[in-house]
Amino acid sequence: MGDHKGFTVVLRGYDTDEVDALVERVHEAAASTDGALRAAVRAELTQPTLSVRLRGYDRIAVDDYLRRAVDRLA
């Protein structure tokens, strides 16, 4: 699904721990044949609740990654 560790850390961005956990769920769902799991993660990605923190991941890059992940989990 892409190398999320390539996200740039910026002054005010998404909480890195929250993004890392969400990306891990994306990887698990992508590797799964369970349609319900894939659908649940896909739904979570359409309206993620990510906190903005100092020294977090670039929001634009994360949002772009999540949009692509939704398409791949379809």
Distance of alpha carbon 18 from alpha carbon 62, whole angstroms: 11
Distance CA 24, CA 28 (A): 6
Instruction: Enter the tokens of residue 49.
Output: 């609740």
Stated pTM of the model: 0.88
Average pLDDT, the chain: 92
What letter would DSSP give residue 73? T
Three-state DSSP state, 34: coil
Can you give the pLDDT at residue 65?
Answer: 95
pLDDT tens, position by position, 27-63: 999 999 999 999 999 999 999 999 999 999 999 999 9
**Confidence bin at 1 (pLDDT 50/70/90):** very low
